[in-house]
Structure 1
Amino acid sequence: MDSAADRLAAGTERRKRKRRRIDDTPLTDFVQPGSWIAEASGRIVRAALDAGHLELGPASDCNVRDNNRAARDAATAALLAASPPADGDSSPTPTGFRCPALHARLIQFRGQPVWLPAKARAQLGDVRDVGPYLSGSYDFILLDPPWQNKSAKRKRTYGTLRHDELLSVLPLGRLASPRGCLVAVWCTANPGHLQFVARQLLPSWGLTYLATWYWVKVTKHGEPVRPFDCPHKKPYEFVLFGGPSSASVPRDKVFVSVPSCVHSHKPPLSELVRPYLRDGAECMELFARYLVPGWTSVGNEVLKLQHDSFYEPTSHESLPS
């Protein structure tokens, strides 16, 4: 992303290429084509503009050229400032956190101020190692796996998991509620990953593939962050659902938001899935990068975005006593 923005900012010219033919073929037989996703998200964007949730007018030429570098630089600086001191342990011993209160609490962890949301629970550690520390019976489990891709391999900026590792290390069988568990998996626009989730991963847990949802990323003006027909990267990601065949989940659902400038920071799905869960449902996220009120979050980055510096203070009158 940065390298592409640098080329744009420098005005690098490339030789003209022959106009390519747009291919609108769906990535798999169970997802919609880009044109369908574009049309559905366009209706949502128009409604959001009318309601004042997005800003009218196109993005500035400066923001287009530098790919919103100011926001990305600010995110990088904030994450560095919030990082705990290096202790030489790249795979920390699993550590548990819990906030039993009805309001958020500020704690100290490794010398850093960290917020725990109301009724939130967390297990900090590599998902491959925390299995023995996990317990409970969950009605909904969300996964955001660190998928292997060419960019991650080249940059080596974060660890990834192979398909066979995902099949072997996740203890969903003993965490799923006997009443029936709904599972959702974030997935990039990669046909191999999509097929793996629907045809292998979900069935390995005794689940039936149920639905695909689409997260479309837009600018604050409602424009897709890149063209829908871009051959390399798409302006959307997928959420694949599995569960009992009797579960009622919309087959194709589109939701739209302005993406975070923090890498791999997905929007919370808690409100979107609530209508399809029982009252008081127990929910868990694996490979989580932040905490959600009332949820159990697991991963080696669960506190990544909980640092006090990421939050704005409220008035004293609004703070719980």
Structure 2
Amino acid sequence: MADSETSDQLSVFLQSGIYRFESSNAIFIDPVRVINRSYTRFRVSPSAYYSRFFNSGNANEEPRVSSKSRKRKRKEKKPRTLNEREELADQRHQKARPCLLKAHESLLGATDLLVMMQKLSDGCSFSEHTDSCLPSAEQSFVELESVWQASLYEITLNFNQATQNGAESDCGFNLIVLDPPWENSSAHQKLKYLTLPNRYFLSLPIMQLTHTEGALVALWVTNREKLRSFIDKELFPTWGVKYMATLYWLKVKADGSLISELDLFHHRPYECLLLGYCHRAVDSECLSIFKPIPDNQIFISVPGDYSRKPPVGELLQEYVPGVKPARCIELFAREMMGGWTSWGNEPLHFQEARYFF
């Protein structure tokens, strides 16, 4: 990439938090910068958001890795035959693998971006500090949630983009994002959040929430083949959603390396976002008018806390049908975003005071 192009990319990235790689279907996201565009009085702390992978203690990483390697060698087992579901899961992985590798190579080739990531991990912030705007006493947004309007008053989300005519309020949403609490042994063991059996999600009123001009539905899923089969055969058909494409969230560390080996069967360094279209007139040909969505697109970021997903709404906007700006809702939301309706048991979970400076 030419120096001028690199400079332009960095300039856009500093403003938006999104870095688009040339000659690649991959995008790098800085969730902190993207989220901070929704705030007017507070700023998310990069060190708090990235606490799992941006740790100053990583200076001793080489011995730690060596220790893991020795531990892995001790536990090394003979290869076993995969069962039918595991074979299907591996086939999905092998299909996506070339795209994931190419995306990771694009990141490693963007040395300017890697330098900025490393500075952030060393305690530098992409965002400008605005401490003078903060209240003198620390407050917990989760506690403020119990007081009517207190949360919105203190947080001051930017709702300018959400301005709609009153007539639109009863027409539904044209972007629906879901991150359901799927049954998950890891979440159960770590007591991170309550989970639900798959059958409970069949009753979600996706069709009723859909805008009269249709909606893009984005569903976060794990890499379990049993879950994918349930979505394909039961969940999407019940919701009236036509599957269109799979996007991949590739997780990396501050130095650009993957958080785990790409081919590690049970702990792969990526998650999937399934996209589909929904229209209230299910029996018509309306679905054919929606914009095609390229399959196997990749977005890359350093993960935040356990189960926290990066903000992807902006990346999906070009595929959202109907009114502009889009009417957006997140189901099972764990943080609020400016211009969005957030629904769930913990809509302010990631807006505790410790996440902000």
TM-score, with structure 1 as normaliser: 0.67
CA contact (8 A) 1:215 1:256 kept: yes
Q: Which residue of 2 aligns with 1:118?
A: 158
Taking only the aligned residue pairs, the percentage that are identical comes to 32
Q: For the Cα contact (< 8 Å) 2:174–2:210, is it kept in 1?
A: yes
Distance 1:164 1:136 in 2: 27
Alpha-carbon offset, residue 20 of structure 1:
4.1
2:313 corresponds to: 270
1:145 aligns with 2:177: no
Which of 69, 74, 94 is 1:15 aligned to?
74
CA, structure 1 residues 158+120, in 2 after alignment: closer, same or farther (shift >3 Å)?
A: farther
Structure with the largest fraction of strand: 1
Aligned in 2, Cα 1:53/1:188: closer, same or farther, shift over 3 Å?
farther
Residue 106 of structure 2 is matched in structure 1 by 44
Structure 1 counterpart of 2:300, from 234, 251, 256: 256
Q: Give the structure 2 partner of residue 66 of structure 1.
A: none
Measured after TM superposition, the shift of residue 202 of structure 1 is 1.5
The question of 1:229 aligning with 2:263 is answered: yes
Counterpart of 1:139, as a letter, is: N
Runs of 4+ aligned structure 1 residues displaced above 6 Å come to 7-12, 21-24, 28-31
- 2:303–2:309 CA contact under 8 A, matched in 1: yes
Q: Would the alpha carbon gap of residues 161 and 18 (structure 1) be closer, same or farther in structure 2, given more than 3 Å must change?
A: closer
Within the candidate set 351, 354, 357, 1:306 is matched to 351
Task: Give CA-to-partner distance per residue, 1:173-221, whole Å, 9 cap, x none.
Answer: 2110121111010011111112222332111121211000000000011
Q: CA deviation at 1:139?
A: 0.4
Query: What is the aligned counterpart of 2:334 among 280, 289, 295?
Result: 289
- CA distance in structure 2 between the aligned counterparts of 1:188 and 1:30, rounded to whole angstroms: 12
Residues 1:239 and 1:21: Cα distance change in structure 2 (over 3 Å): same
Equivalent residue number for residue 95 of structure 2: 33
**Cα distance, 1:38 vs structure 2:** 3.1
* 2:217 equivalent in structure 1: 183
Q: Contact (CA 8 Å) 2:100, 2:298: kept in 1 or not?
A: no
Structure 1 residue 15, shift from structure 2 partner: 2.8
CA shift, 1:56, in A, is 6.8
Q: Is the 8 A contact 1:25 1:33 kept in 2?
A: no
Number of aligned residue pairs: 256
Unaligned runs of 5+ residues in structure 2 are 1-51, 53-60, 123-138, 162-168, 278-286
- RMSD between aligned alpha carbons? 4.0
Deviation at 1:136, TM superposition (A): 5.3
Listed one character per residue, the Cα deviations across residues 88-125 of structure 1 (whole Å, up to 9, x for unaligned) are xxxx99x986xxxxxxxxx358xxx851412299xxxx
Unmatched segments (≥5 aa) in structure 1: 61-80, 86-91, 98-106, 122-133, 313-321
Contact 2:248 2:298 in 1 (8 A): yes
Secondary structure at 1:209's aligned position in 2?
strand
